[in-house]
Copies of this chain bind each other. A is one copy, B any other.
Amino acid sequence: MADVAREAGVALRTVSRFVNGDATVGEDFADRIRRAIETLDWQPDERARQLRSGRTRTIGAAVRNISDAHPVLRAVDESARAAGLTVVAMSTEDDEEREREAVVSMCRRRMDGIIIEPIAENHGYLQPEIDSGMPVVAFDRPATGVEVDTVLSDNRGGIALAFEHLVRQGHRRIGYIGDDERIYTGHERAVAFHECLRAHCSAATGMVHPGPIDPARIAAALNRLRSDPEPATAILTGNASTTVAVIRQLGGDFGSIALVGFDDFALADLLRPGLTVVAQGEAEIGRTAIDLFQARAADPSRPVQTVTVPTTLIPRGSGELAP
């Protein structure tokens, strides 16, 4: 920048003003500076800029996986972009240690905020950052042990949507295979399924098989559901991985039993029959996360808020099969 100033024959500070769009730079000076920048191929150093100004205009996103499709991340990125913010995403790979590394890295980079898809059992380690004014927004699951703004899917509503859809198709024995109940979403969805069973006790019975996602367990659960004296005529799966595992396990039998999956995924419509799913409002979740971040940044003392985003049932065939 000093070189540019010398080349243009102006003061260092004037180049800075020009770069920052300060209107107090005369047109003749601006021209000379423009030319000098061109000549020297100079670009401002973002690190120094951030260091001096104290703002990074960057928020960190600690998500489960960067490299897989991640519709929420896309929405976060777009909303942030629209607000003039840069998003730096890091993978936690479903690992507590990795999550922490990501968060530490974001803090060391003095990012303006953190959007996190929580993995760790306890997020107390975030407290010092929160206390020092770092806006933190959790999505998909609540962050345990700290109070932060949160965006969740309407897990219970989504399960109810699917359950009632199957009941409407005439199913009276519905099986549920879902994620580990120690995981928040796994717990919520299994509980919701139980509630549906209670609410429809006269109309439907059902079986629940939550646990870790692992082909062998899925296969066992599936076999139990189908080999029952009164076998299930419909299956509700608690997340995309489970859905896929169930479809793999069903093999050629896919289509012989009704199936509704919680969480949509790419190409689910290409299956035969098409896969009926409860879709989460990922775009809205992402947008809301950024909204909450901005609200918090604008007013650090506002009460923490939890937003629940509704789900939608997308019928594609597999959920409309008769018992």
Binding site for B on A (CB under 8 A): 41, 43-48, 50-51, 56, 66-71, 73-74, 77, 86, 88-89, 91, 104-105, 107-110, 128, 132, 244, 247-248, 252, 254, 265-267, 269-272
Which residues from B are CB-within-8-Å of A272?
Answer: 252, 254, 271-272
**A74-B69 in contact given A108-B45, A267-B244 (Cβ < 8 Å):** no
Q: Which single residue of chain B is at the shortest CB-CB distance from A106?
A: B46
Q: Distance (Å) between the CB of A218 and the closest chain B CB? A: 14
Known: A45-B110, A66-B66, A244-B267. 11 other contacts (CB 8 A): A41-B128, A43-B104, A46-B110, A47-B47, A51-B51, A66-B70, A66-B77, A68-B266, A247-B270, A252-B272, A270-B271
**Do B66 and A68 touch (CB < 8 A)?**
no
* CB of A274, distance to nearest CB on chain B (Å): 11
Which B residues are in CB contact (< 8 Å) with A254? 272
Residues of B within 8 A of A56 (CB): 47
Nearest CB in chain B to that of A252: its residue: B272
Residue of B nearest to A272 (CB): B272
A109 touches which one: B46, B70, B270 (CB < 8 A)? B46
Q: Which of B51, B71, B265 contacts A45 (CB 8 A)?
A: B51
Which residue from chain B places its CB closest to the CB of A267 in the assembled complex? B267
On whether the beta carbons of B71 and A41 are closer than 8 Å, the reply is no
In whole Å, how far is A112's beta carbon from the nearest beta carbon of chain B?
Answer: 12
* A317 vs chain B, min Cβ distance (A): 12
Neighbouring B residues of A91 by C-beta, 8 Å: 77
> What are the residues of chain B within 8 A of A265 when measuring CB–CB?
267
Instruction: Knowing A43-B104, A45-B108, A77-B67, say if A89 contacts B89 (CB, 8 Å).
Output: yes
Known A66-B77, A73-B66: A47·B109 in contact at CB below 8 Å: yes
**A212 to B294 Cα, complex, angstroms:** 39
Q: Is the CB of B270 within 8 A of A41?
A: no
A46 x B244 contact (CB < 8 A):
no
Contact of A105 among B86, B247, B271 (CB under 8 A): B86
Could you tell me if B68 and A69 are in contact, using CB atoms closer than 8 angstroms?
yes
For A105, what are the chain B residues with a Cβ–Cβ distance below 8 Å? 46, 86
CA distance A91 to B76 in the complex (A): 13
Which single residue of chain B is at the shortest CB-CB distance from A109?
A: B46
B45–A47 touching, CB < 8 Å? no
* Contact of A270 (CB < 8 Å), options: B43, B110, B248: B248
Chain B residues near A109 (CB-CB < 8 A): 46-47
Is there contact, CB below 8 Å, between B69 and A73? no
- CA separation between A88 and B105, bound complex, in Å? 12
**Known: A88-B88, A270-B247. Is A108-B67 also a contact (CB below 8 A)?**
no
Rounded to whole angstroms, the CA-CA distance of A48 and B51 in the bound complex is 6
Select which of B43, B44, B50, B128 is within 8 A of A47 by beta carbon. B50
- Are B41 and A132 in contact, with the CB atoms below 8 A? yes
Cα-based distance from A41 to B77 in the complex (angstroms):
30
Known A44-B108, A108-B43, A108-B45: A69·B66 in contact at CB below 8 Å: no
- Give every chain B residue within 8 A of A51 (Cβ-Cβ): 45, 47-48, 51
